[in-house]
Structure 1
């Protein structure tokens, strides 16, 4: 029976222009184009056809066994009917293909998923069925009168490659059989194979089949799945990508053209890949993957969910403080890429190492407390200094703090400090440091180069003024007295 007698036909609406993309993304779409390009005699006609297809000049495409048709429009608006004749497979070819496909569940599943995997094509070729057209299997007919592939038929073929990417059954229909026939054959072939197996089993004294409830019950006697893999002790080291000719210190290349671009200056090879930076990214990915595996296996508690949007500047500091710390050129590149100078990046890295993302936020952002939170904070500051009653540090309110006298406490708490004024801190004449509110959850000890910052998480952070900039001086604490005492006594990491 000829494939055309099945009455299968499909029409696909015109596709939009294909500017900026290839015509074939799947392997079978690329195979179709290889056949076109190998069989065409005039490469110039193909290039013109590709340009017409890319411009969206191909109208609706009709596919039927042995023939593909569309109307293609020239630049001047002239329309031509273009046909591509496809060599059909014989009835015997289709029967062998259907039997081959039905014999393996993977083939059937792939076809039902509208996929034509290479191993199905290879198995079909093993029984003498070539699904993909070869040399001589595509012939051109066009209203423009050309005898070989002209720009119109070439444009049609390029458009068909886009259709094949979406639905490989287009190829099977052009080769002679439609989807309905193929699915019916696969169903019939699977049923016949199951019946033959049952008959063979019955004829040999074996069971004619297995009941569904018995098949499910067998799950209880199957061996258990293997246990999860152990979590690696560490993330491992990525392979080294730096060769003897690479220079990633930003001081200039060996040939006088400069070092790696963006890695600390001197690079002139714009767009070149920096091996050291790539190694840093690979190592960071390995660390994060190990952490995710450990969390999935319950080896470590899951990290708190971060509902903040991704932030390039924050992630650059994380990389500089962890994976890239030993590669100064990469740290410099991260700083330059996020608009920081070396001192800014050093302070940000220090903040990250002391408190992660929360520590960095305290450095670079202001957390303005609500009025009630601010009142509690200043009251806590006033009674946190370990000194006789009435000798708590003087808190000078700012414009955003409640009016009135500074708070006092009946029973002071905190670490011993005794009102030390180390560092030249201004006090009240009795050794107690004065704190001036700067707003935004920040308090300064005038003349001491010391500052307390209240983070949005309720913890207090010590800051010291070094080289004209405020720098994190140590880890955070929920007790402002302990933080302030350590800061004034010089008991910090600065």
Structure 2
């Protein structure tokens, strides 16, 4: 990954979060991810308020679209003014590059290029999409946008109402006294020296950094050094960092990436139980729940841990569809499946399945009283996840 891609990664992350929330727990989220990974999404087109692309399915190619709200003229003015005060952002725009500043709303005048979740809507030429509900094809488009944002952030700029070139011209006009001439007509990434000289010559003076260079310390050369990490801890941190680097470089790191997932990753390691007390203090989660989440992490990664803590909210339509799918597969046996919050529960058999944040269904078995323990076998198909729960239940009788 290039430096530019890394610096724009927060923009892709913000889009992923908003897009995932906009799907409202639909099973199409996971199915769309599979389509996107299989290259079903063709060339993506953008226009103000709309991102669209042809998406190839099994029997036909559908025209999927995602609709986002455009930024107002006042919001674009605020963003341009903030960029004009950043010399690096101005230089990037002059060079036909998207400045990394726009990836962070905190440094972009509070303006977020990623749209809010409640402003994202879907449409498609398929029957589901014609009712303006998320379908497999529009979900695949959303995943493809997330994948391509780090390399092509102008996707969201155009959809939010302004091209990268128009934004560059707007910022250039705001630079006090600068007249760098027309934008470069040369190869992307080149900058004329005269333009940079003009920008530098007309920049307002920058305030000196607030540094205390005369800091006084009472330590002397003969004082012992401050204690550092133990050798065992350093070795553990090095091993953990190397393992994380391998998964990131291999592209196999599982979502969601958050602080809780990092804590569970450490707890699920061979010596992780030693850190339970610290994890409980940091998260406020009871030890028994953390132990169950450790098991969920080992079975299903970060998404499995999150599903153990709480089922991902799902609409009643999704839950009814999942219940009908399980009944149709005859995986239920003689039990009755009830909808319990966002989970499907068979109290007779002592099994349950829950939707996870990655769109898969996670199996659970009744451990004792109302305590559910995660089981292996998470799957996009709720019927298969239910079968996995029954297999685990048969292998692990109810404890009393």
Q: TM-score of the superposition, structure 2-length normalised?
A: 0.42
Structure showing greater Rg: 1
Whose helix fraction is larger, Structure 1's or Structure 2's? 2
Q: Which has the higher contact order (CA 8 A, sep 6+)?
A: 2
Q: TM-score of the superposition, structure 1-length normalised?
A: 0.34
